[in-house]
Structure 1
């Protein structure tokens, strides 16, 4: 079995059977290609069905010199999934990564912005610029709904259910959820569609896409990152931020203001409550307030 064939079949398995996103599949693929390159460079003649624990261990040791422990752990996890797939398809009987331990990593707390910092970012947008109104609407939407950047750039006009106060979001693994949207964000989206987007001719395939660039195509993830980076420089923000920072801030601010953790889990589209629980660790005062409010010995 050749590496290229095994990787291609694995990609189809991840997409069809596990329903993973393109970004996740690309990440798995890059790690497997790194393993392929390592074997070629070191003239190690192993196929996916013959590679052993020693060769995998050498590869991990080489990788460890170049990446942080979190990335090492991700690579080991991806390789483990690949060889589990080969076992599932009866190409192998054992997984050469079973005895390889991933590095211990602490739980990484997400970066967040204060309400004042978010207001400052939005206020820094130049509304006289042709894309100013669009960019303000993007930030308001990210913060109002806690969307992933991939969910924002694929948001459709047909996904907007403003009369009911919801937007339909297609999240990881093509899973659908309905997220409440604040009336202020509704107002900005409606205004953008009516006053700005209507003057752009959508290219084929983007007729239903909410946010468009000047050429009528959908925005890329990189464009959203650049918009935020430029705004953070504008207000001299010392934090390193990304679109995900607004998602984290959305969840953290809801929690601090008394929202139920299960409700936040549903809005974020987290499969497990343990993923959402990271926000509890951001503000220990939340736990103190819970005890003071709900404990019977008040």
Structure 2
């Protein structure tokens, strides 16, 4: 079996067994293909079953001169996953990357917005235009539900369960979760739907998509970035923010107001609570208050 045969088998495993998205699978595959290019450039003919730690160490050293430590760590992690799969399928008995450490990098802490800043951004929207009504609904939904931008643009009308107070979100790996949605955000979405969306000429295949562009098609992620960037410029906000900033702010404000990490994890759709814990650093005062209030030896 050659490299491509193993790769195709690995891709099937990632899709079927782990339920990963096409983008994630492509990223894993890119790491392997980068290794293959290195082997070809150095005239090294060896299969993934026979490749050694020494050869992989040479590859990692080569990569370290081309990419930053964060990208280097991602490549090592991706290759470790591939070789773990080969062990799982009994093609190998060891992982040649086990002793190769990822570079130490500082975790980049997320930027957040205060409630006043979020209000200022939303208040800057021109509601005299159909796009303004839509954009207000978009930003309210991003912040109120803590969605990823990919989840927002894919949100469907059939995902709205307003009587029950929830929206159904399809996240990474097509995993679904239900997220609470407040009555104020519900009203804003309904206003957009009933006053703006009904007047659009909706293109075939987008009949159930909630947020549409002027041509009646699903919005792109880039368009959401542009909407937010233009509004921050308009109000003179001296922060570099993105749609994900609203998601970070959602989690941070929940934590500050007493929500537990497990509940935040479920609403964000994080597979591991470790991912959610990144938000803990943002309000040390709040955590100190919890300790002083609830710990028996305060």
TM-score by length of 1: 0.92
**Matched residue, 1:122:** 122
Q: How far 1:130 sits from its partner (Å)? A: 4.1
Deviations 1:107-127 (A, max 9, x none): 332211111221222122233
**Matched residue, 1:189:** 189
Confirm or deny that 1:248 pairs with 2:252.
no
Alpha-carbon distance between aligned partners in 2 of 1:195 and 1:88, rounded to the nearest angstrom? 55
SS of 2:238's equivalent in the other structure is: coil
**Matched residue, 1:27:** 27
**Matched residue, 1:88:** 88
Alpha-carbon distance between aligned partners in 1 of 2:6 and 2:213, rounded to the nearest angstrom? 38
SS of 2:139's equivalent in the other structure is: helix
Alpha-carbon distance between aligned partners in 2 of 1:15 and 1:136, rounded to the nearest angstrom? 36
SS of 1:177's equivalent in the other structure is: strand
Rate the CA distance shift 1:129–1:65 in 2: closer, same or farther, 3 A: farther
Confirm or deny that 1:98 pairs with 2:59.
no
SS of 1:178's equivalent in the other structure is: strand
For 1:198-277, what aligned pairs fall within 5 Å after superposition?
A: 198-277=198-277
Worse overlay, 52-61 or 157-166:
52-61
Alpha-carbon distance between aligned partners in 1 of 2:228 and 2:98, rounded to the nearest angstrom? 41
SS of 1:283's equivalent in the other structure is: helix
**Matched residue, 2:7:** 7
Alpha-carbon distance between aligned partners in 1 of 2:150 and 2:219, rounded to the nearest angstrom? 10
Q: How far 1:167 sits from its partner (Å)? A: 0.5
Confirm or deny that 1:167 pairs with 2:167.
yes
**Matched residue, 2:64:** 64
Cα root mean square deviation, aligned: 1.9
Q: How far 1:256 sits from its partner (Å)? A: 0.7
Q: How far 1:54 sits from its partner (Å)? A: 2.2
Rate the CA distance shift 1:195–1:72 in 2: closer, same or farther, 3 A: same
Worse overlay, 259-268 or 132-141:
259-268
SS of 2:252's equivalent in the other structure is: helix
Rate the CA distance shift 1:105–1:128 in 2: closer, same or farther, 3 A: same
Q: How far 1:95 sits from its partner (Å)? A: 1.9
Deviations 1:202-244 (A, max 9, x none): 3332221111122222122222222222222223333222211
Alpha-carbon distance between aligned partners in 1 of 2:295 and 2:54, rounded to the nearest angstrom? 55
Q: How far 1:285 sits from its partner (Å)? A: 0.3
Alpha-carbon distance between aligned partners in 2 of 1:61 and 1:218, rounded to the nearest angstrom? 43
Rate the CA distance shift 1:130–1:73 in 2: closer, same or farther, 3 A: same
Rate the CA distance shift 1:195–1:108 in 2: closer, same or farther, 3 A: same
Q: How far 1:56 sits from its partner (Å)? A: 1.6
Q: How far 1:296 sits from its partner (Å)? A: 4.7
Q: Residue 280 of structure 1 contacts residue 286 of structure 1 at CA under 8 Å; is this kept in 2?
A: no
Alpha-carbon distance between aligned partners in 1 of 2:291 and 2:90, rounded to the nearest angstrom? 53
Q: How far 1:297 sits from its partner (Å)? A: 6.3
Q: Which runs of 5+ in 1 are unaligned?
A: none
SS of 2:12's equivalent in the other structure is: helix
Rate the CA distance shift 1:101–1:201 in 2: closer, same or farther, 3 A: same
